[in-house]
């Protein structure tokens, strides 16, 4: 069986809290070996830690998403540093820049100072992100540009700074020609795959091939869902949302993305790169394993 590495997801999301054990078991049975679970605010860091303590396959990350920067507490940074001190296996994320209708442009220099791999959110702000990274970089520990939808032309500049390019179901929102050009510009040793689950449900002509999660209606909409619904993805029309597949009449409105759908992302990216799925799975797994093999990581314990 192919080994896969979900380089960015949010399994701490309250909308799926009632099915997490079953979800992880299904994903493991389908070849997903590790999940990089990213926090988005002080409120969900405890849940990310709890999941990491409970599951060897979960690699935790702590950070403040740009949408929640204005709601952080005065002690947020000391709290963040304490989380990293207590959890040496943790990386940084999700942080970044957002120019969506509800997003905020933020200075995330403090969060990068932890010297672990950093998972960066960037929506319609790559032109702003590049100079920020140039002023702070390079980043020998690595920077994950999660759900990358920037241009092919910017890839070499980001790569020089230590960036990795992670692709999710959102890639399917781009015109195929643009997606293919951009993918082919990414160095083979910098490509990653992710799901951003429980958001980012991929498009598929064969809906039966997808794994679905029923939303837990007992919980209010998680703030990560609010993040994803805040702005259209790069290159999409202004009246569309990030998760086009969720709006299909063939898919229930309450359906959420499952991390096992990384196999659909794998198939799509492999088809655009003209490589077989097994080869791409090996490449992306090796890249993610190398990136997350820092001192204290679960991968080298």
Q: List binding-site positions for a divalent metal cation.
A: 8, 10, 94, 121, 146, 196
Q: Which helix (H) or strand (E) holds 84?
A: helix 76-86
CA–CA gap between residue 168 and residue 259 (Å, rounded): 10
Give the separation between CA 142 and CA 117, rounded to whole angstroms. 5
Residues 6+ apart with CB under 8 A from 160: 138
Give the SS3 label for residue 213.
strand
Closest CA to 183 of 159, 167, 162: 167
List CB contacts of 211: < 8 A, sequence separation 6 or more: 26, 30, 258, 260, 261
Longest Cα separation, the chain: 50
182 with 155: CB under 8 angstroms? yes
């Amino acid at each position: 069986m192919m080994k896969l590495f979900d380089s960015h997801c949010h399994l701490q999301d309250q909308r799926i809290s009632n099915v997490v054990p079953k979800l992880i078991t299904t994903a493991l049975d389908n070849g997903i070996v590790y999940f990089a679970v990213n926090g988005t605010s002080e409120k969900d860091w405890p849940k990310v830690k709890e999941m990491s303590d409970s599951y060897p396959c979960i690699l935790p990350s702590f950070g403040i998403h740009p949408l929640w920067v204005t709601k952080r507490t005065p002690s947020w940074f000391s709290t963040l540093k304490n989380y990293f001190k207590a959890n040496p296996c943790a990386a940084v994320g999700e942080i970044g820049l957002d120019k969506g209708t509800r997003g905020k442009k933020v200075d995330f220099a403090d969060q990068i100072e932890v010297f672990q791999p950093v998972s960066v959110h960037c929506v319609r702000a790559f032109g702003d992100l590049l100079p920020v990274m140039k002023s702070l970089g390079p980043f020998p520990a690595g920077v994950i540009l999660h759900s990358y939808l920037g241009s092919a032309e910017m890839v070499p500049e980001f790569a020089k700074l230590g960036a990795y390019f992670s692709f999710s179901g959102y890639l399917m929102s781009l015109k195929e020609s643009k997606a293919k050009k951009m993918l082919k510009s990414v160095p083979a040793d910098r490509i990653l795959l992710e799901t951003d689950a429980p958001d980012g449900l991929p498009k598929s002509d064969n809906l039966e091939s997808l794994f679905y999660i029923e939303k837990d209606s007992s919980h209010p909409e998680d703030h990560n869902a609010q993040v994803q619904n805040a702005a259209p993805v790069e290159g999409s029309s202004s009246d569309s949302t990030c998760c086009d597949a969720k709006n299909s009449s063939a898919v229930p409105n309450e359906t959420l993305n499952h991390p096992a759908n990384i196999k659909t992302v794998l198939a799509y990216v492999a088809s655009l790169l003209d490589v077989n799925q097994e080869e791409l799975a090996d490449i992306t797994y090796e890249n993610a394993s190398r990136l997350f093999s820092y001192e204290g990581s679960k991968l080298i314990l």
